[in-house]
Amino acid sequence: MSKEVVIVDGIRTPFCKIGGALKGVSAYNLGKVVVRELLERTELPAQEVDELVVGNFLQTLDATNVARAIARKAGIPPEIPAYTVQRYGGSGMQAITSAFLSIRNGNIATAIAAGAESISNYPLLFQDRFSDWYEQYQAAPGWLGRMRQLSRFSLSALKPAPAVETTMLDYVDRKSIGESSEVWANRHHINREAQDQYAALSHRRAVLAVESGLIADEVAPVFPQGEKTAVLNDDSIRRGQAFDVIKDMPPLFDADFGRVTAGNSAPLCDGAASLLLMTASRARTLGMSPLATIRGFAYVGVAPSDTAIGPAFAAVRALENANMSFSDIQLCELHESTSAVVLANEQVFANKDFVEATFGKSSVLGAIPRNRLNVNGGAISLGHSFGASGVRMVMSLMREMDRRNRSTGLAMMAIAGGQAGAIVLERR
Amino acid sequence: MPAAFQAEFADKGILKIVFDYQERSVNLLNEATLTELDGLITELADSAEIRAAYVVSGKADNFCAGAEVAEIRKISSQEDAFKKSRIGQQLFQRWSQLPFPTLLVIDGSCMGGATEWALASTFRFCGDRREVGIGLPEIKLGVIPGWGGSVRLPNLIGLRNALKMILTGDAVTGPKAYRMGLVDKLVPASILDDSALRFLRDILENGDKKVLQRRRQVRGRRGFLETSIIGRNLVQRRAYKEVSKRTRLEYPAPFEAIKTVKFGRENDLEDALMYEARKFAVLAASKVSRNLVRTWFLIDRSRKMRGVGNEVREAAKTPIEKVGIFGAGTVGGAIAVMCGEADIPVRLKDVQHDPLAKTIERARDRFQERIAGRKLSEREAELKADRISPTTDDSGFSRVDLLIEATQEDAGIKEDALHSGDRLTPEKTIVATTSSTYGVDALARHVRQPHLFAGIHLPTPVNNNPIVEIVKGVNTSPQTLATLFQLALNWKKFPIVVKDKPGYLVNRLLMPYLSEAMTILSSGVQVEHIDLAMQQFGFEQGPLRFLDEMGLDIAMRIFNAVQKEYPARFPENETLFAMLNYQRAGRKSGKGFYEYHPYKKPAVRRKLYKELQIKSNKHMPVLEIQERLLYVMINEAAYCLQEGIVPHSEDVDLASIFSIGFPPFHGGLLGYADSEGIEKIAGRLRIFAESLDERQRYLPSPYLIRMVESGKLFYSRQMPQPSEVPQNL
């Protein structure tokens, strides 16, 4: 007998660009803030939590299985287990679905699903060239051998390789999600201006959300060590005429023909987010009023070159799992890895021929009106924090469903290396 | 009476002795146990079967707390002290001369006399738990180890280590003890008993070569300074210099300790023990040691909740598992940090983020210090700081056991805070206010359950004042007081229950003292002269420097509160007004009575006298300054006792030592008053009243006059009842 799983509430830290206000705060400290604050705001005693699941893209070297560190720091008693999951940028979404499965199957009744990422604290790696050289130096016989090896040393081998550049690529074609969306944009003639316009829209919406207090509601302050005040605000949102600034930015990947720029793709950020999940009956016993029920989810794999349109495939599968049709969906979040990803999926969703050809039935998807998609901005304006983004997106969707009094919602994201995930929510 | 020592054979020829003193929760060496040990040693010496023996403790976290302090207090004369020292020395001497090897297994705290016993044993083991601590804390009571410890310790662990242990009185952990060779083996606690047995079997079969080899190795590492006569002399001279720098000459014990250690290194055991006993006798019978022992009892009394009355002591305490605090100002922040340090989760609310950030930063700094002092690991410290959960909204209070209202001193804000506290917290939550301006009783009408309402007052400097005043309102229940008392103990503070009247206890004592200093200043005596007079008496800081550290604005606020209640004794303080007019708010503003520079010593400038319009040419004898400052304080203490602010003289003495810096070797304010003579004090006060302005300030209080008339002292009036006599260490 599978249980109905609800999300009671969620919270996040501000998302701040790499090297920004949160640069000194490690992933476990960010995670601690959202888990502890979630417990405080929902007034749930820590010992009532059965498990903590944390999505984290690149393991924190001084706290691998960062979930356990977060649990201890947040005051969750040591008897309660915690584990960490990784699915690239979908790590946060994975945390939600892993916790969801455990609860639905009746293994546990309450869980916190969180995501935390401190990209600022990623290590700098040595290049292979250097480690090879060092290995040979260590193995060199006698001082003469060492001297010989020393003479082969070249300073350029010391150039560090930031982990952030090398870790987020597909295993085979070594492309990040940004690059693969560029490939897609080129192939399907999504022009630069449309991409920049979409990015500007994301910023306008985020500014509105900030002004109406929506963001402040979902953000917990972070107090970095050595600072005199709290960090309260996302720092990627562009106020004023965002388009005018974005339109002149140089391409990121292909200097001559590229269309994906820093302006129309998601800035990498430090941040964390958390959701409180439990069975519906547990929520009733505790007198909590959940914001949403998880109806279903799906992950799919696609050819790495099709990564950008993965969300369409994931959406179809997730809706199928949830026993719902696309026409039921009233609100959508589609992760803004780049403008190109959003625009590509908009095209695919609305392209009846393509949908029919691919899925055998044209009604499984349909056009998503812009006024139902990413209505409070997304990763382009708010920032993208690998482990935390999936959680943040589901939380935004759930809160907006509540605010607009919508009963169904769909959250989707493309995941680097040819994957995508989608979650279907319902509000009862 | 069941025996404290139970002996049985654990194996053929190997005797296991369990030390478990049933009368107390910890093992002690007092007359009873020592007599028993004496009998045991006689028995062991005569037995032919025993080939080895080891001693373990029957208590969970304690091996033995050493000599019973009450017996040190009973020492009546030098002869008596000498005799007691010799008895212990001879006992342990006989123990060390038993015809078979002995082993002490230390798995808990092992203090003073017990450590000396361990030193007289052939071998020592200790467990690897955190509870293990081995120390010789005698110096804290103004004496030196007198049962052979001063002689045996340096022989075992070397001069430098021994001097450090004896001079600081701090206990060393198990690993440290192993490293310095104080114990022969560090064993996982769970297999201690078994490994003791195995070890002794091995010794009996194969001899003690391995152990002695390790001892030689450890000794070998100590190097030139320890192994040569020149080196040892150097070390001793260094120690003497260090101690002279840190210790006042009023405390002779450290100097005598160095001498005894030196003598022990240069002479044979019997002479050295004799020397130690003589030194011990002189120190133990001295006034300084008596007063330090008294101070120890004051602390013990507070820790054990004696002196709060049976009703409070026996009341059921609510376990405090979560604390809520409104207001992250100086006081609220300090309480949050203390809770974090005691591992109690805190929800800390303020309307702004900055004070929250400041509090968290302060917690991190404080725990960083403890990391530096190796009291905590980095991660443990981090976890303590993480216990403070800051917020600007109302969430997170639904499960607090204690709500502390620490908002600004404003009637409206406090009222709102108490009302919303009632709304946010469950029925059973205890509520406490930190207000020093509005009393508990005045605020009690804003809380739903006045019996669960009390005050918590942290005297300045709030961040590291060892005293916490717990303010009892008319309706405050014993349970509430007991709970707060216990919480303050968990904060590692000394709580004092006080009546709800302005100034409570500490500020009532402080204000006459500080304002008298300012009066003397305005009569033309120089700042340094006044401060030096009190430093000569034994205070770490003079009163005017104390004011600078405290902040004159804060002093003003306290002064006003006290003045409103007792206008006759506290007339307008013009110096304080003038100081604040010239922006001399104390150290934090860069200048007060002294001027402060980052790289210079604080100094008084002529400008101060100009601004205060004082001539500063008057000379006043040191003794007169001391008398005026101390006697007005004693007089105020008598008023406090008369009004029942606190019930006992011990409370006043505890507060005076730990919150005002009254020198402990004088034994606390009222203990000092007793030794000076009440009649003399009252007489001097009368003379001050006649010869100085504002005679009301100096007139002896009715309480003091009554004491003179009936010939009583502060401490004779309430001779400790048998049940009140503090008993153990």
User: How does pLDDT run across A50-84, given as a tens digit for each residue?
Assistant: 999 999 999 888 899 999 999 999 999 999 999 99
Contact B396 A225 (CB under 8 A): no
Contact A223 B383 (CB under 8 A): no
CA distance B133 to chain A (A): 27
Number of C-beta neighbours around residue B15 at 10 A: 21
Chain A residues touching B345 at Cβ < 8 A: 75
Give start and end residues of each alpha helix (H) in B444-551.
478-490, 506-522, 527-537, 543-550
Contact B387 A75 (CB under 8 A): yes
Chain A residues touching B328 at Cβ < 8 A: none
CA distance A203 to chain B (A): 27
CA-based radius of gyration for chain B:
28
Our answer to whether residue B624 is catalytic in this structure is no
Q: A26, A40, A231, A233: which to substitute to probe chain B, counting the most B Cβ within 10 Å?
A: A40
Q: A30, A36, A42: which to substitute to probe chain B, counting the most B Cβ within 10 Å?
A: A36
Contact B357 A40 (CB under 8 A): no
pLDDT at B720 over 50: no
Q: Nearest by CB to B398, which of A37, A43, A225? A: A43
pLDDT at B631 over 50: yes
Q: Is any Cβ of chain A less than 8 angstroms from the Cβ of B349?
A: no
Contact A40 B347 (CB under 8 A): yes
Q: Is any Cβ of chain A less than 8 angstroms from the Cβ of B726?
A: no
Contact A230 B395 (CB under 8 A): no
What integer pLDDT is reported at residue B727 of this predicted model? Answer: 37
Percent of chain B surpassing pLDDT 90? 74
Average pLDDT, chain B: 91
- How large is the ipTM? 0.92
Chain A residues touching B390 at Cβ < 8 A: 221, 223, 230
Contact B399 A75 (CB under 8 A): no
Q: Nearest by CB to B396, which of A40, A72, A225? A: A40
Chain A residues touching B382 at Cβ < 8 A: 73
Nearest to A36 by CA among B390, B356, B326: B390
> What pLDDT, in 10s, does the model give residues B608-628?
999 999 888 889 999 999 999
CA distance B344 to chain A (A): 10
Contact B353 A73 (CB under 8 A): no
| Nearest residue on chain A to B344, alpha-carbon basis | A75
Number of C-beta neighbours around residue B664 at 10 A: 24
Which whole-number Å values give the CA distances from A339 to A187, A308, B31, B86, B299, in the listed order? Answer: 15, 10, 86, 90, 69
Chain A residues touching B361 at Cβ < 8 A: 223, 225-228
pLDDT band at B1 (very low <50, low <70, confident <90, very high): low
pLDDT at B224 over 80: no
Which region, left, alpha or beta, applies to residue A88 given φ > 0 means left and ψ of -120 to 50 means alpha? left
Chain A residues touching B398 at Cβ < 8 A: 43
Q: Is any Cβ of chain A less than 8 angstroms from the Cβ of B359?
A: no
Chain A residues touching B386 at Cβ < 8 A: 32, 36, 73-75
Q: Is any Cβ of chain B less than 8 angstroms from the Cβ of A24?
A: no
Q: Nearest by CB to A32, which of B354, B357, B386? A: B386
Chain B residues touching A41 at Cβ < 8 A: 393, 395-396
Q: Is any Cβ of chain B less than 8 angstroms from the Cβ of A248?
A: no
CA distance B346 to chain A (A): 11
Q: Which three-class secondary structure state does DSSP give residue B5? A: strand
| Nearest residue on chain B to A75, alpha-carbon basis | B387
Per-window interface: A 113-132 vs B, CB < 8 A: none
d(CA B47, CA B30): 26
Q: How far is CA B50 from the centre of its chain?
A: 44
> What pLDDT, in 10s, does the model give residues B644-693?
999 999 999 999 999 999 999 998 999 999 999 999 999 999 999 998 87
3-state secondary structure A351-404: CHHHHHHHHCCHHHCCCCCHHHECECECHHHHCECHHHHHHHHHHHHHHHHHHH
CB pairs under 8 A between A and B: 55
Q: Is any Cβ of chain A less than 8 angstroms from the Cβ of B391?
A: yes
Q: In sequence order, what DSSP letters do the residues of B288-321 get, joined into one string?
A: HHHHHHHHHHHHHHHHTTTTS-HHHHTSPPPP--
Q: Which of B31, B49, B138, B624 is catalytic?
A: B138
Contact B357 A223 (CB under 8 A): yes
Q: Is any Cβ of chain A less than 8 angstroms from the Cβ of B356?
A: yes
Q: Which of B68, B116, B276, B627 is catalytic?
A: B116
Contacts of B653 (CB under 8 A, 6+ apart): B294, B298, B662, B667, B668, B669, B670, B671
Our answer to whether residue B415 is catalytic in this structure is no
Per residue of chain A (428 residues), what is the pLDDT tens digit? Answer: 689 999 999 999 999 999 999 999 999 999 999 999 999 999 999 999 999 999 999 988 889 999 999 999 999 999 999 999 999 999 999 999 999 999 999 999 999 999 999 999 988 888 888 888 888 888 888 888 888 888 888 888 888 877 777 778 888 888 888 888 888 888 888 999 999 999 999 999 999 999 999 999 999 999 999 888 899 999 999 998 899 999 999 998 888 888 999 999 999 999 999 999 999 999 999 999 999 999 999 999 999 889 999 999 999 999 999 999 999 999 999 999 999 999 999 999 999 999 999 999 999 999 999 999 999 999 999 999 999 999 999 999 999 999 999 999 999 999 998 999 999 999 98
Between B226 and B516, where is the model more confident?
Answer: B516
Q: Is any Cβ of chain B less than 8 angstroms from the Cβ of A3?
A: no
Q: Is any Cβ of chain B less than 8 angstroms from the Cβ of A288?
A: no
Chain B residues touching A221 at Cβ < 8 A: 353, 356, 390, 392
d(CA A350, CA B507): 78
pLDDT at B729 over 50: no
Contact B383 A72 (CB under 8 A): yes
- Long-range pairs for B88-91: beta carbons < 8 A, 24 or more residues apart: B88/B29, B88/B34, B88/B113, B88/B116, B88/B146, B88/B147, B88/B148, B89/B146, B89/B147, B89/B148, B89/B273, B89/B276, B89/B277, B91/B34, B91/B37, B91/B38, B91/B41, B91/B147
Contact B364 A225 (CB under 8 A): yes
Contact A229 B353 (CB under 8 A): yes
> What pLDDT, in 10s, does the model give residues B276-319?
999 999 999 999 999 999 999 999 999 999 888 889 999 999 99
Chain A residues touching B354 at Cβ < 8 A: 228-230
Q: Nearest by CB to A227, which of B357, B392, B399? A: B357
Number of C-beta neighbours around residue B101 at 10 A: 19
HSE-CB for A195 with a 13 A CA cutoff = 32
pTM of the model: 0.90
Q: Nearest by CB to A228, which of B347, B357, B383? A: B357
> What pLDDT, in 10s, does the model give residues B163-173?
999 999 999 99
Per-window interface: B 329-348 vs A, CB < 8 A: 345, 347
